[in-house]
Structure 1
């Protein structure tokens, strides 16, 4: 190679090192700040309760029990609703990819609204027991289930409706969606994208 080509390549290398590393540094800093914020989010929510108690705004009377139960309900219900909605989205993708006309008829906006409302009502029914089974502790801050049975029921419900069932539904419906897409064609070539999609699933 001529010296001119080598000098041009060195110049390009210097510019890439200078500017790409600066861009990576900026984005990694933003990412680290974001991670710090996410991991300390629970601390910020806990500070509000302690701040209200410090300035005697937080009521230590019977209203605290209602606050405790409502706070617990609105902690667990959105968690379960969010994972159930991911499963419902996979079900919608499965029905929209089906060659069966009856299954494809379920993939409509009207049906999706009904399913979203149904998921919300079912999860509210499942977690509504917290208004009865949870009680406030003597310190006025902590809120726990009243009996050991309530602790076991709450842990089992969280395990089933937040962790196990949504994962099983997402995996099964994703696998059936891939099979629908492959069977729509007479021959589904096994290319790199198909293998990557299966690995990601």
Structure 2
């Protein structure tokens, strides 16, 4: 997958804890938030969307504005996939769709679907969505948001411009873009044909 740049309409919202941080724990993934509201929103999204295809939370420390997540050392982001794993990507597409749809059924839009936010779980050959920092409830008016985060390569025009309301189509648009990137770089014709077929299905939801 190519390098991806992110833009944000405000200050950095959160940072992952490093070993030098006194709150760092080797068996967990810690995330510290600059804004209390952002922490609460991500926590709510993860609680309401909890399931085996969604990043698991362990605890929230409101005083330190910190959330600890379960850390899986064997999990791999799709952004780490090589050319020899194109068939695996195709195999995982239905799982990715199920994970995104699970969030939508629980009233949330992930808001930042991209390879680095989708983990491959080799133990059961499924996926897990991570980083719900850009997630909002379906129907949230963007005009009411003081700041929002997008990855331009995968974001719809409404997301980038901050127009309209948060819509499940935002996530499906991002998935279509992700599949298109795969199609352009895929050398295996069978994998490419399958990816084109899945893309045509997802495009119906836009």
Quick check: which has more Rg, 1 or 2? 1
Give 1 or 2: higher helix fraction.
1
TM category, shorter: under 0.3
- TM-score for both structures, normalised by structure 1: 0.24
Give 1 or 2: higher strand fraction.
2
- TM-score for both structures, normalised by structure 2: 0.24
